[in-house]
Structures are given as C-alpha cells and as structure tokens.
Structure 1
Amino acid sequence: MLVSLDIRDVLIIDHLELTFQPGLNVLTGETGAGKSILLDSLGFVLGWRGRAELVRQGAAQGEVIAEFVLAPDHPAHAILAEAGLPSGDTLLLRRVNTRDGRKTGWVNDRRVSGEVLRALSETLVELHGQQDDRGLLNPRVHRDLLDAFAGLDLGPLRAAWSALAKARKAQTQAESQMQSVQAEEEFLRHAVAELDVLAPEPGEEAQLDAQRRLMQQAEKVCADIARAATALSDDGAERLVGDATRWLEDVADAVEGRLDPALDALSRAMDALGEAQMTVAACMDALEFHPGALEQLEDRLFAIRGLARKHGVLPDDLSGFADDLRARLDRLDNSARDMASLAQAVSDAQSAYDSAAATVSDARAQSAARLDAEMAGELAPLKMERAQFSTAITRSDAGPEGWDAVTFEVATNPGAPKGALSKIASGGELSRFLLALKVCLTRGQPGMTMIFDEIDRGVGGATANAVGRRLRALAEGAQVLVVTHSPQVAALGAHHWRVEKSVTDGQTLSRVVPLSAEARVQEIARMLSGDKVTDAARAAAEDLLSAVPQS
C-alpha cells in the first residue's frame, strides 16, 4: 500500500507531502490544476518512462519520495532479495532528476537502476490512465494479459521453441554444407587421389632441394675428392709419412732421444691421415648415385611444388591440406546418415513444441472462458448487463509463446456483432469495459495499489454512481486511487483531496488539500454546478454524500 508521497520541485509543485489511506482515495480539481502531475511524479519515482524534463523552473533538481507498506508475503520482497537490497515492513523509493537530465534512484537508501524500480513497480502499482498505457486496447498484448490472468508458466514452451529453432538451424547449416561439398565432389575426389599418390611429408621439399643441389655438383666435387683420396693413400702422404717414420726410428737411439717428439708427431699424423681417409671415402660413397636418380628426385620435387602452387598452400602444408580434403569427403559420404539424424532431431523437437503449445493453448481456452464469466459478473453492476465480452482465440503463426492470437471482443447490445474493444464501445461504455477488465486482471494480486485516471470519463448520473460503487467495492481491503471529474464517484471516496493551482509572485504552483467533511460538500457542489456553487448544488452534494453506505 502507498503510504506517502513527497514531491519537491517537480513541474509546478514546489513542495508537496501527501499521506494516503487504505480504501478508496479520490483526487478532484479543475482541469489543469495539476492532477496529472501527481501521477507523473509517482510514475517517475517508480522508474516509469514519462516526461523527459520534470524539474521546476529555477530549481537545481526535482525529487520524489514514495513510501509503501509491504505485507510479509508481498512479491516485492523477492525482487529486493534478487537485487541484494534490504527488505522490511516498509519500502522507501527515492528518485532525483537534475537540471541536466540525469536521473538517479534509491531503494531503502541503496542506489539502484531504473530497471530495478520498474521491476518493483510491477508489484506495487497498477495504473489505468487516460491513454491506457497498460495496453488493454492493444490486441497485440491481449495474449500477455490473458496469460497473466491464467498464471501461465511459458518457460517450458519457450524452451521447446528454442530447441526447435536450434534443431532447424543445425539442419539448415548441414544442408548448406552438404550442397557446397556436393558441388565440388569431383574436385575433392581428384585432389585427394592426387595427394594420396604423391603422399608428401612435412619438410620433404627442403630435404629434396638440398639433395638436388648436392647431386648437381657431384661430378666436380667427386673429382676433387678422388684426387684428395689419392694424395692421402699409400701412394701419397701416408707412404711418405711412413718412410719418414722408419728413417727416424733407425737413428733415434744414436741421437739419444732427441727425435722422440718428432716420432710422436708423425704417429699422430698417421692417425689423422687414417681418419681423413675414412671420411673422404664415406663422402665418395654418399655421392655415388645411378644416372637416373637426379631425374627422379627432380620429378618428385617439382611435383610437390606444383601441387602446392595449385592449391595455394605451402609445400610443408600439403599433408594437412590433404587431411582437410579427406574430412570434407567423409562428411559428404556420411551426409545421408547425418541428414537423417538431423531430420529426426527436428521432428522430435517439433513434436515436443507442438505438445507444449497445445497444453498452453488448452490452458488459455479454459482461462478465456473463466475471464469471460468474470467479466459478465463485473459488467452487470456497471449497468452493462446486456453487453457481452468474449476472449477470441485464433490460430496464428507459431512462436516462442505458442500459436494463439488473442483478442478481447465486445458487443454492447444483444444480437449486435462483436468487434474489437476499441472500435465497438463508446466513450462511456469503454470506460466501464476497461474498469471491469482491470478488476478481473488484477484480482488476486495482494498488496497492489490500483490507480484509475478518469476511469469515469464519458459517463454520468446513475452510471457514474455504478462506476463509483464498483471502485469502492474494489477498494475494500485494498487501496484504490482515483482521479475523477465525476461528483458521483468523488462522493463515494473514503478519503478526498482537492488539487488546486494558484499564482504567487508571478509563479504558478500546484498544491493538494485534504478535505474536511464541510469542504468536501463544497467541492462536490462545485463539481455539480461549475464555478458558481448554488444552494441547490450544495444540497445535491449533501444528498450524494448521505447516500454513501458507511463502511
């Protein structure tokens, strides 16, 4: 329940403190006095999107504070807990709008986003304004309203739709990939066969290139190496070193050891010569190849390079490229089996979605019948017992919320064709239809403050009295705020405020005055007679007030 509203420097309000009560609260006043400003202010602190500029002329910022009382089981507690905000018996909302347009909100002295305020507002206040901002006249939201009335959980249906969409997407992508692979099947099979025959290995191109260069130089290199081998052989350096060693050994004793170092050096030289001969021989063996070996090597080297150029890859990447081509061929070869599996997945997902959608559709049909029955019960007290309301459900395109299209239809007289609510009903009838619908849709929402902005427009006399009595009944055990120009409705209020506008020092200001019993007679008389309040109007006002049942 809304307990208080504190407004500072908003539009033509400098400072206004309002304390509200349970039951039916009515606000009256002349047109332009500022009644809509109160609703704008309440909407601002609740995070609703409204006027872009609310700050009063000359002020640095505008501020609105709203205090609510929460029952222990109020749904606002869950939102507070989810947002990590403190919770208790009271809920304090505060929001500031600076001159430069920045808006800042607080909940229980904790700074919050507008999104949190709006989430809380869904549990705190239900507003029916002159422009029907909740969408009661918009057929596009009638399904949502029916679902809320039914208390439907659309989670399983949305999950089934998401799974179906995912399965369809996988099938479409697989079909596209298969068509792409099929279009190049001949190329793939030829390329894979060509690569399989060649079977190139990473690093092979560099190895073949090095061998090719070596083989091209082999003739010249081998001649030089052969000459070196001859120089190192028994007929060359080895024979001379051996002769020198024998000659020195023959005279070594005669010179008493002076030749020992020379003999040691010659011994090492013989070992080095032997090692050199082995290395030269090994090299000559390695350079030996048959006449066609170079041609074969070049053929393979050029084949590897040619395939690399053909496919636009590096020679070392040919092996990996071949693996990729084989994988694409495997997908093509397995595509029939894969497509069958994907088609089955789509069929299963479609069946699951159809089942979930049918369940929701049945629940909607049952709830629509219940809503129609409740609407019939609401219209009779509003002097529309001959009018008919029905919830039409038709098959539409499937989607995440099912395949139903929902439209609220009415017929104002028996036998008359039914049509859209906004097109069939007149102004006064429309107000009563919307009041009845609002009552049905908000029933069962504990702790909700309901606000009606001129719900009685277009009606008067006994009909206005019927509207007022329904609002009063609705306010029993709850809280209803009504902005009204109807004296019949105003007379039925449990609490009455008058909105006034005045000019002080050239500045227009609005204020709200709680009315005493005597002031209330005067206000209702003004509403009955206009600017000049007559004795007859005052007497009529007293009659209206005296006819109100005492609660």
Structure 2
Amino acid sequence: MLRSLDIRDMLIIDRLDLTFQPGLNALTGETGAGKSILLDSLGFVLGWRGRAELVRSGADQGEVTAVFDLPAGHAAHAVLAEAGIPASDELILRRINTADGRKTAWINDRRCSGEVLRSLSDTLVELHGQHDDRGLLNARGHRALLDEYGQLGALRADVRAAWGARQAAAKALASAETALEAIRSEEEFLRHAVGEMRALAPEPGEDAELDARRRLMQAAERVRSDIAKAAEALGGQGAEGAAGDALRWLEDAAAQVKGQLDAPIAALGRALVELDEAARGVDECVEALAFNPAELEDTEERLFAIRALARKHGVGPDELGDFATNLERRLAALDAGDAQIEALRGELKRAGKAYDDAAAALGAARAEAAGRLDAAVMAELAPLKMERAVFETTMTETAPGPDGIDEVAFRVATNPGAPSGPLAKIASGGELSRFLLALKVCLTGAQPGLTMIFDEIDRGVGGATADAVGRRLADLARGGQVLVVTHSPQVAALAAHHWRVEKRVEDGMTLSTVTPLGAPDRVDEIARMLSGDTITPAARAAAEALMAG
C-alpha cells in the first residue's frame, strides 16, 4: 500500500507531502490543476518512462520519495532479493532528476537502476485510466493477460520449453542436411583420396626413416669395400692372426728368459682382446651394409610416393596420417549421413508432437479461462449499468510460436445482437471506461498489497452510471487501496479520503497544491463539481445527499 508521496520541485509542484490511507482515495480539482502531475511524479519514482522535462523551472533538481507498506509474502520481496537489496515491512523509493536530465534512484538507501524500479512497480501499483490502452486496447497483449488471469504460467513454460526443443531439433536437422549436402559434393574426391591413403598407408615418421635408410644404402656401396678390407686386415689372416702367433711364440720362450717376457705377453693379450672387439664391430658393420639393390629401389619408390601424395594434398609428409584420419571421418559421415538424417527427422517429429501436445493443453486451458473471464466481466458489467452489453474472449489459431498456437482478442458488443468488435472501435468513451473498469477488476482480482490507480476511469459517464462506477471502485477498495483521479461528484462522494488539487500563483509563478479535505470542505468540493464555480445551497444539499449514499 502506498503510504506517502513526497514531491520536491517537479513541474509546477514546489513542495508537496501526501499521506494516503487504505480504502478509496479521491483526488479532484479543475482541469489543469495538476492532478496528472501527481501521477507523473509517482510514475517517475517508480521508474516509468514518461515526460522528459520534469524539473520545476528554476530548480537544480527534482526529487520524489514514495513510501510503501510491504507485508510479509509481498511479491516485491522477491524482486528486492534478486537485486540484493535488504527488505523490511517498509519500502522507501527515492529518485532524483537533475536539470540536465540525469536520473539517480535509491531503494531503502541503496542505489538502484530504473529497471529494478520498474520491476518493483509491477508488484506495487496497477494503473488504469485514460492512457491504459497499452494492455487492454492492444490485442497483442490480450493473450498474456488471459494467461495471467488463468494462472497458466506453468503450462506456458511447458510450451516454451517444447518450442525450444523443437527449434533445436529443426536446427540440428538443417545443419546435418547442409553438412551432408556439402560432403556429397566431394564424394568422388573423398573416395578416391581415401583409396590412395589406404593403399599407401603412410606411418608417422616414416618419411624421415625412409630417407635415412636410402642415404645409408647409397653410401654403402662407396664405403663397404674399405670396411671389408679392414675386416680382413683385422681378422685371422691379418693382425689378429699375427698377434696370436706372436703370443704363442713368446709364451713358448718365456720359460727360458726368467720373466723378462711377462709384461710383453700381458700387453699382447690385452691387445688381442681389443683386436677381437674391433673385428666383431667391423664385421657387424659389413653385415649392416649388405643390401639387395632392389631394396634401395623399393625404398626410393615408397619415399617418393609419400612425398608426392603429401604435395598433392598440401600437407607435410608426417601430416598424412592425420589427414587420412580426417578423410576417413568425412567419408564415414557421408556413409552414415542418411541414417543420421533419418534419426534427426525422428527427433524433430517427436519434438513436434511434444510441442503440439503442450500447445493443445495450453489452448484448452486458455479456452476454459476465457469462459471464466467472460462470465466474470459480464457479472461486473451489470452493476455498471451495462447489463445488455456482451464481452467475449475470442481464440483463433495462429502460426506456432513459443507461446502456443492461439491468438486471443477481447471483443465487445454494446447491445445483444449487435456485431462484436475490438474494444476501441465498438465502445463509446463512457462505455469504454466501464469496460476497462470491469475488465481490470477481473484481471487484477484480489492481488494483495497492490495499489490500484484509476485516472479518470469515469470519463464520459454521469448520473446513475457514474454512481455505479463509484460504488464498484469503493467495493474494490475494501481491504485494499484505490486512488482515483476523478471529475465525477458521484465517485468523489463515495471516497473514504478526499484531496483537492488546485493551482495558485506566487510571485508570478504557477504552483500546484494538494489539500486534504475534511467533511465540510468535501461538501463544498463536491458541490463545486456539481454546480461549477458558484456553490449554491441546492448544490450543497445535493453533495450531502451523495455523500450520505
């Protein structure tokens, strides 16, 4: 509930402190007195988008502070929690607008954005009135209003999830079809290239290994004869044999020279060991250099084939393996493409059925809610002196989307048998006001902690009809809070609290003031509304009669 509104230097208001009460609060005054400025100021502190120039002429900045009572469980608590702002049973909103257009806002002394203010305002205030076309007269918003009335949020979430899954399945199928089509265009190349790769079967590092082997075989012919001669010179017919003979001769003579040959014999033994090791190494090298001339030809042929294939595909020889793997993968995707496409089509079909089922369930729930809404609005129209009017929520099928397949529109007929049509085209000004009131009452319901503001909702009506509008507003205000800006004495007379808005001129500057009215002043104000500037005894008597009910 809105408890107070403090306005400083906004438009033609220099300073204004208003304290509101539960029940029906009426604001009256002559046209142009500044009643709409109060709503502009409240809208400003709630983050609504409105006038650009709000600061009073000559002031550095304008400021509005609004205080709301916030009971436990109020929807605003969730908004505050998400924004990280501490909450209590009192909510203080403050917003400043400087003369150069900069805006700054606080919630409970915490800086906040206009977006957070707007999110809060949806839980705090509901505005109905002359400029209430956005939700009710615009058919594009009717579906959302019906869903809110029918509390169909869960079903709508199911439809949106199913729509997302269907879109994802369609996207996956389209992507797979595009990819398959691209691969099909190179099928001949893929099959030929994979065949080449499979036939050659290059191994990682094979190019370097073949090159080293080729070089070795090429060099073998030049060095093998020298190495063979060295092997012969070291072997039994060469140095090793001669050293062995020398050792035997020395050993035979050693006994005759009493130890003088011990050192030479030992050295020669060691030399024989080293000669044997050298001979074995040389023999191994000779064997390693032995090759079949055809092997050199085969090695060169494979080496040149690997390098030629690498040049053909623009990769390094050592990259042929990875390249071949990629070709195999693409060919496998081509071969498995039809099966994959078929599987994805099945997924899309299942996702489509799930969406259709969810959309049908939402549509059925909307139809049921539409029937309840029609009955509720019709019940509201009777006390508003429109018992012969007809209100209908129509549903037609539209293209599938995230919110289902239903197009919803509110249509009215002012008399039985007359053709129905959109609210704005069929209803006159007074009828439109009452339709809006009835519809808003039904759509808003008994939402707790919501301040409802009606801006001249009674325009175009008078007499018994205005009295019916006032009584419905008074009924709506029981247990809650309703603020009504009105020119109707019948409506003002039914208010529990009454303020008069008027203009005054001080030092050549026009200012707007708001005065709370006690019982005698209320009589005068309602009499003025009945008779004009001149308040007659008859007008006062009529005002007292209206207030007496």
TM-score by length of 2: 0.90
Report the CA distance shift for 1:431/1:236 in structure 2 as closer, same or farther (over 3 A): same
Structure 2: how far apart are the matches of 1:421 and 1:209? 89
Corresponding residue number in structure 1 for 2:9: 9
- Number of aligned positions between the proteins: 547
Deviation at 1:267, TM superposition (A): 4.0
Partners of 1:9 and 1:251 in 2: how far apart? 135
> Residues 39, 224 of structure 1: CA spacing in aligned structure 2 closer, same or farther, 3 A cutoff?
farther
Q: Which amino acid aligns with 2:543?
A: L
**Which runs of 5 or more structure 1 residues have no equivalent in the other structure?**
none
Match of 1:446 among 445, 448, 465: 448
Q: CA deviation at 1:527?
A: 3.6
Q: What is residue 544 of structure 1 aligned with on the other side?
A: 543
Offset of 1:37 from its aligned partner? 2.4
Between stretches 405-414 and 261-270, larger displacement belongs to 261-270
Deviates more, 1:168-177 or 1:298-307: 168-177
1:74-113 alignment, distance < 5 Å: 74-98=74-98, 101-113=101-113
The answer for the alignment partner of 2:341 in structure 1 is 339
Q: Is the 8 A contact 2:24 2:483 kept in 1?
A: yes
Worse overlay, 497-506 or 340-349: 497-506
Please identify, of 267-276 and 168-177, the stretch whose mean Cα deviation from structure 2 is larger. 267-276
Q: In structure 2, how many angstroms separate the alpha carbons of the residues matched to 1:251 and 1:102?
A: 122
Cα contact 2:527–2:542 (8 A) shared by 1: no
Supply the distance in 1 between the matched residues of 2:63 and 2:239 (Cα, whole angstroms): 111
Change (3 A) 1:249 1:453: same
Residues 1:248 and 1:529: Cα distance change in structure 2 (over 3 Å): farther
Establish whether residue 396 from structure 1 lines up as the match of residue 398 from structure 2.
yes
Contact 2:527 2:543 survives alignment (8 Å): no
Question: Residues 287 and 364 from structure 1, CA distance in 2 versus in 1: closer, same or farther, beyond 3 angstroms?
Answer: same
| Alignment partner, residue 378 of structure 2 | 376
Displacement after TM superposition at 1:256 (Å): 8.1
- Structure 1 length-normalised TM: 0.90
Q: Which amino acid aligns with 1:437?
A: L
Equivalent in the alignment of 1:146: 146
List per-residue Cα deviations over 1:81-128 (Å, max 9, x = no partner): 455544443333333445565544443344444333333322221112
Q: 2:234 & 2:97 partners in 1: Cα distance?
A: 103
Identify if the C-alpha distance between structure 1 residues 277 and 502 changes in structure 2 by more than 3 Å, giving closer, same or farther: farther
Q: Structure 1 residue 349 and structure 2 residue 351: aligned?
A: yes
5 Å-filtered alignment, 1:223-238, equals: 223-238=225-240
How far apart, CA to CA, are the structure 2 residues paired with 1:237 and 1:56?
A: 121
1:503–1:509 Cα contact (<8 Å) kept: yes
Once the two structures are overlaid, the 10-residue window that deviates more, 384-393 or 465-474, is 465-474
The alignment-based identity, stated in percent, is 65
Contact 2:434 2:458 in 1 (8 A): yes
Please list the CA deviations of residues 421-460 of structure 1 after superposition, one character each: whole Å capped at 9, or x if unmatched. 1222222222221111111111131221100112122333
In structure 1, the partner of 2:50 is 50
Read off the aligned partner of 1:372 and give its amino acid letter: D
Q: 1:380 to 1:271 in 2, by over 3 A?
A: same
Decide which moves more: 50-59 or 453-462: 50-59
Instruction: Tell whether the 8 Å contact from 1:408 to 1:420 is kept in structure 2 after alignment.
Output: yes
CA contact (8 A) 1:95 1:104 kept: yes
Q: Which residue of 1 is the match for residue 170 of structure 2? A: 168
- In structure 2, the residue corresponding to 1:216 is in which secondary structure? helix
Write out aligned runs for 1:146-545 (5 A). Answer: 146-153=146-153, 154-238=156-240, 264-530=266-532, 533-536=533-536, 539-545=538-544
Deviation at residue 203 of structure 1 after TM alignment: 0.8
Partner of 1:130: 130
Structure 2 unmatched ranges of 5 or more: none
TM superposition shift of 1:22: 1.2
Cα RMSD for the two superposed structures: 2.9
Q: Does 1:34 align with 2:34?
A: yes
Q: Which residue of 2 aligns with 1:120?
A: 120
For the residue of structure 2 that corresponds to 1:327, the secondary structure is helix
458-467 vs 436-445, greater mean Cα deviation: 458-467
Would the aligned equivalents of 2:523 and 2:543 in 1 still touch at CA under 8 Å? Answer: no
| Residues 1:23 and 2:14 are matched in the alignment | no
Deviation at 1:263, TM superposition (A): 5.4
What residue identity is the alignment partner of 1:347?
K
Rate the CA distance shift 1:260–1:522 in 2: closer, same or farther, 3 A. Answer: farther
